[in-house]
């Protein structure tokens, strides 16, 4: 005969759930007692009702009971039980989408009552609110993945996301600087502030991501062998700023530093060392990109710093991340192999490098015209 119990659980954020444990008959051969677990993201009364249903027919497929679970509760179960080890930043993104978008509209609907039309209306409502197509697709992907898991577990016979029409993606057209503009940028930045100068060097000459810039330490700069090792990424999460490995294995890389970039890094290091020696309030934490007190920047702070700095210049505005696009474009324009550019940027796939990061500039197009002339007529 089955017996059951309910245990209240509270996570680090104060969210309360109830875990139901069903104690079933022992295996006649091994003597091991079989157990079934089910999590209720609701009130204690709802957990008690769920336990009653399970005790009435413990041998029946548990999925028949689970299929009536509300969507918000199912998505929480999906996150907690089937994606327990995803990165904190990824979890934060999923939770934000569920909390702010999916749950207010669809959360109270039992998953076995969801239909394609209902989900299509939800998607259409996000379009009407002006949400970017990329963000809408991210919402859909979370919802679709959670319901796919319900189908795999035979809780649902069909995923109601099937057939939903999504808005077409509009790829952002990055702007990049040419070589002359980069030279001018570096001259202005060096006069402006050590932080602005470091951002320009790390972004335009080394092609680092924002999180890689803020995580880079002096110990990872090899002045003797002219190398920089990128092995950490500084990101923001619900638990504060954390440092972790880059998002892919290819993101961990060692790249060679050119002479001008090396001289620039030595200039920044001299400034850092001088501050450590002479300013008692400067507590150097070992970061290449540092605040006035020697501590590292949060990633969002350098985006703001870049925005304020570039507005003080006579250069056209580009995003901070577009310095990385500029780096890739200039390398390709100067006949560097796409594979080498891929390695330096830390891309997992060379198609990402070529399709998203390399932009055709007028000088590149003119050079192509000269080369076809030379190939045919010379």
- Closest listed residue to residue 253, CA positions, set 331, 123, 347: 347
Residue 334 has pLDDT above 50, yes or no: yes
Residue 54 has pLDDT above 90, yes or no: no
pTM over 0.75: no
Query: Distance between CA 374 and CA 377 in Å, rounded?
Result: 5
Question: How confident is residue 366, by pLDDT bands cut at 50, 70 and 90?
Answer: low
Give the percent of the chain with pLDDT over 70.
Answer: 87
116-142 tens-digit pLDDT: 999 999 999 999 999 999 999 999 999
Q: For residue 212, what pLDDT is reported? A: 95
Q: Which residue would you say has higher pLDDT here, 149 or 57?
A: 149
Q: For residue 61, what pLDDT is reported? A: 46
Residue 324 has pLDDT above 50, yes or no: yes
Question: HEC profile for the chain?
Answer: CCEEEEEEEECCCCCEEEEEEEEEEECCCCCCEEEEEEEECCCHHHHHHHHHHHHHCCCCCHHHHHCCCEHHHHHHHHHHHHCCCCCHHHHHHHHHHHHHHHHHHHCCCEHHHCCHHHHHHHHHHHHHCCCCHHHHHHHHHHHHHHHHHHHHCCCCCCCCCCCCCCCCCCCCCCCCCCHHHHHHHHHHHHHHCHHHHHHHHHHHHCCCCHHHHHHCEHHHEECCCCEEEECCEEEEECCEEEEECCCCHHHCEEEECCHHHHHHHHHHHHHHHHHHHHCCCCCCCCECCECCCCCECCHHHHHHHHHHHHHCCCCCCCCCCHHHHHHHHHHHHCCCCHHHHHHHHCCCCHHHHHHHHCCCCHHHHHHHHHHHHHHHHC
Average pLDDT over residues 141-151: 93
208-219 tens-digit pLDDT: 999 999 999 999
Q: For residue 23, what pLDDT is reported? A: 77
Per the prediction, the chain carries an average pLDDT of 86
Question: How confident is residue 31, by pLDDT bands cut at 50, 70 and 90?
Answer: low
Q: For residue 170, what pLDDT is reported? A: 77
- Tokens 């051969």 -> residue: 29
Question: How confident is residue 190, by pLDDT bands cut at 50, 70 and 90?
Answer: very high
Residue-wise DSSP of 113-134: G--HHHHHHHHHHHHHTT--HH
Average pLDDT over residues 179-192: 95
Q: Which helix (H) or strand (E) holds 240?
A: strand 240-244
Average pLDDT over residues 27-53: 73
Question: How confident is residue 347, by pLDDT bands cut at 50, 70 and 90?
Answer: confident
Q: What are the CA-CA distances from residue 290 to residues 86, 195, 302, 320, 329 (Å)?
A: 30, 7, 10, 17, 28
Residue 374 has pLDDT above 60, yes or no: yes
Listed range (2-16, 185-199, 210-224) with the worst mean pLDDT: 2-16
Average pLDDT over residues 31-56: 76
Residue 247 has pLDDT above 70, yes or no: yes
Question: How confident is residue 369, by pLDDT bands cut at 50, 70 and 90?
Answer: low
Residue 57 has pLDDT above 60, yes or no: yes
């Amino acid at each position: 005969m089955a017996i059951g119990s309910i245990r209240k659980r509270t996570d680090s954020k104060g969210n309360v759930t109830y875990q139901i444990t069903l104690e079933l008959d022992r295996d006649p051969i091994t003597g091991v007692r079989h157990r079934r677990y089910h999590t209720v993201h609701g009130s204690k009364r709802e957990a008690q009702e769920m336990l009653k249903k399970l005790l009435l027919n413990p041998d029946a497929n548990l999925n028949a009971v689970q299929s009536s679970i509300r969507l918000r509760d199912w998505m929480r179960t999906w996150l907690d039980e089937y994606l327990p080890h995803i990165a904190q930043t990824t979890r934060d993104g999923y939770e934000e989408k569920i909390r702010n978008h999916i749950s207010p509209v669809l959360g109270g609907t039992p998953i076995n009552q969801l239909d394609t039309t209902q989900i299509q209306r939800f998607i259409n409502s996000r379009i009407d609110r002006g949400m970017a197509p990329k963000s809408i697709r991210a919402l859909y992907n979370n919802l679709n993945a959670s319901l796919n898991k319900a189908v795999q577990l035979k809780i649902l016979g069909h995923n109601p996301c099937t057939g939903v029409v999504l808005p077409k993606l509009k790829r952002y057209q990055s702007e990049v600087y040419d070589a002359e503009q980069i030279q001018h940028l570096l001259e202005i930045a060096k006069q402006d502030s050590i932080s602005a100068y470091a951002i320009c060097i790390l972004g335009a000459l080394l092609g680092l991501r924002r999180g890689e810039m803020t995580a880079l330490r002096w110990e990872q700069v090899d002045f003797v062998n002219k190398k920089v090792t990128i092995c950490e990424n500084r990101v923001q999460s619900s638990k504060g700023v954390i440092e972790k490995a880059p998002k892919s294995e290819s993101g961990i890389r060692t790249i060679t530093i050119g002479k001008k970039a090396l001289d620039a890094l030595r200039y920044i290091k001299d400034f850092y060392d001088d501050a450590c020696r002479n300013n008692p309030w400067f507590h150097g934490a070992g970061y290449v990109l540092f605040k006035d007190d020697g501590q590292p920047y949060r990633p969002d702070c350098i985006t703001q710093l870049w925005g304020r700095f570039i507005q003080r210049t006579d250069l056209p505005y580009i995003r901070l991340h577009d310095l990385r696009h500029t780096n890739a474009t200039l390398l390709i324009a100067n006949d560097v192999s796409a594979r080498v550019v891929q390695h330096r940027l830390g891309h997992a796939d060379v198609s990402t490098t070529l399709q998203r990061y390399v932009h055709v500039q007028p000088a590149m197009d003119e050079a192509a015209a000269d080369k076809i002339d030379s190939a045919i007529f010379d």
